[in-house]
C-alpha cells in the first residue's frame, strides 16, 4: 500500500475526528481512488448513510457522507450532502469543487469568492476560484485572483499551472508556456500541467509530443481521465490500422473502470 499520510488508516475515522485541510483532502482522494482496501470502507459508510437518507443522518454523518462522496468522485451526491454542511473552509471548498465538476460555475464562484478572502493563504481555495472563473469565461478576473500570489505560492505546481491556463486563455502563449515549465520544474509528473501541454501540442498538430505527454498523464495514479479519452480519440482518428482501434477501445475501457 502507498506510504501516504492515510495509508492503513480508516478515512471515515479521519473525517469524524477532524476536518482535513483541502490539500490533505486531495491526497486522501488520490489514495482512496487507487487503493481498494482504503476505498471500500469509505464507500460502505457513504452507502449506508445514503440508504438511510438525510432525515435520519446527524450533522456529523452528513459531513462524512458529503466529504466521502467528494473523495469517491460522486459530485452529484457531494453537492447534495454538503449544501448544508456548514461554513468550514474544507466543506465549502469541496462543495465548490464538485459544483465546478458539474459545470455549475456561478454557484462555485459564489462559494469561493468570500472563502478566498478569509483563506487567502490556501492555494487550493485560490486556485479553485481562478479555475472556476476561467471555466465561466472570466480569465481576466481569474488573473486578478492570482495576482500577487506568486511569492506565497512559489512552490505550488497547481498555482503555476493555473497561471498558465489563465495566460493561455488571454492569448499570451509564451508566458503561459513559462508558467507550465515552472510547474513541471517543481513536480516533473504534475498531471494537470502535462495535460495542458499535451492539449496545446494536440491543437498545434504536434501529434508525437501530444501522445508522449498524454501517456505521461495516464501513467499517474489515478490516471488522468481526459488524457485517456484524448488518447483514445487520437488513436481512433489514426485509423485504418486495426491495432489503433484496439488501443482506443482499451483507453475508453480504462476510463470507465477508473473510480471517480
pLDDT (tens digit per residue) in 76-99 = 999 999 988 878 999 999 999 999
35 upstream amide cis, omega within 30 of 0: no
By the 8 A CB rule, do 221 and 190 touch?
no
The most confident of 18-22, 32-36, 123-127, 218-222, by mean pLDDT: 123-127
Say which DSSP state 4 is in.
S
Q: Which of 212, 105, 91, 220 is nearest to 83 (CA)?
A: 91
Question: Mean of the per-residue pLDDT values for the chain?
Answer: 84
> Residue 80 and residue 53: Cα distance in Å, rounded?
11
**Bigger pLDDT: 58 vs 224:** 58
What's the confidence (pLDDT) of residue 208? 83
| Lowest model confidence (mean pLDDT) among 21-25, 81-85, 188-192, 204-208 | 204-208
If you search the block for the grid coordinates 438511510, which residue do you land on?
52
By the 8 A CB rule, do 256 and 228 touch?
no
Whether pLDDT at 240 is above 60: no
Give the tens place of pLDDT for each residue, 164-185: 999 999 999 999 999 999 999 9
What are the angstrom distances between the C-alpha of 35 and each of 6, 44, 73, 155, 179? 11, 15, 14, 27, 32
> Residue 81 and residue 59: Cα distance in Å, rounded?
10
Q: What percent of the chain has pLDDT over 70?
A: 81
By the 8 A CB rule, do 235 and 244 touch?
yes
Amino acid at each position: 500500500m502507498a506510504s501516504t499520510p492515510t495509508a492503513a488508516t480508516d478515512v471515515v475515522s479521519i473525517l469524524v475526528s477532524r476536518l482535513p485541510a483541502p490539500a490533505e483532502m486531495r491526497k486522501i482522494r488520490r489514495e482512496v481512488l487507487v487503493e481498494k482496501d482504503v476505498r471500500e470502507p469509505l464507500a460502505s459508510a457513504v452507502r449506508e448513510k445514503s440508504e438511510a437518507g438525510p432525515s435520519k443522518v446527524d450533522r456529523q454523518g452528513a459531513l462524512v457522507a458529503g466529504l466521502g462522496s467528494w473523495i469517491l468522485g460522486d459530485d452529484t451526491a457531494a453537492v447534495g450532502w454538503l449544501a448544508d454542511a456548514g461554513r468550514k473552509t474544507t466543506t465549502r471548498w469541496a462543495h465548490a469543487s464538485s459544483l465546478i465538476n458539474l459545470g455549475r460555475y456561478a454557484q462555485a464562484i459564489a462559494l469561493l469568492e468570500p472563502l478566498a478572502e478569509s483563506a487567502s493563504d490556501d492555494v487550493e481555495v485560490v486556485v479553485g476560484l481562478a479555475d472556476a472563473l476561467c471555466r465561466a469565461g472570466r480569465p481576466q478576473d481569474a488573473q486578478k485572483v492570482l495576482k500577487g500570489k506568486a511569492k506565497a505560492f512559489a512552490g505550488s505546481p497547481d498555482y503555476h499551472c493555473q497561471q498558465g491556463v489563465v495566460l493561455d486563455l488571454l492569448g499570451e502563449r509564451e508566458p503561459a508556456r513559462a508558467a507550465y515549465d515552472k510547474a513541471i520544474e517543481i513536480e516533473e509528473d504534475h498531471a494537470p500541467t502535462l495535460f495542458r501541454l499535451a492539449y496545446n501540442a494536440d491543437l498545434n498538430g504536434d501529434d508525437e509530443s501530444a501522445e508522449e505527454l498524454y501517456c505521461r498523464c495516464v501513467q499517474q495514479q489515478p490516471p488522468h481521465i481526459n488524457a485517456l479519452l484524448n488518447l483514445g480519440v487520437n488513436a481512433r482518428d489514426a485509423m485504418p490500422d486495426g491495432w489503433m482501434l484496439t488501443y482506443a477501445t482499451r483507453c475508453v475501457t480504462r476510463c470507465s473502470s477508473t473510480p471517480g
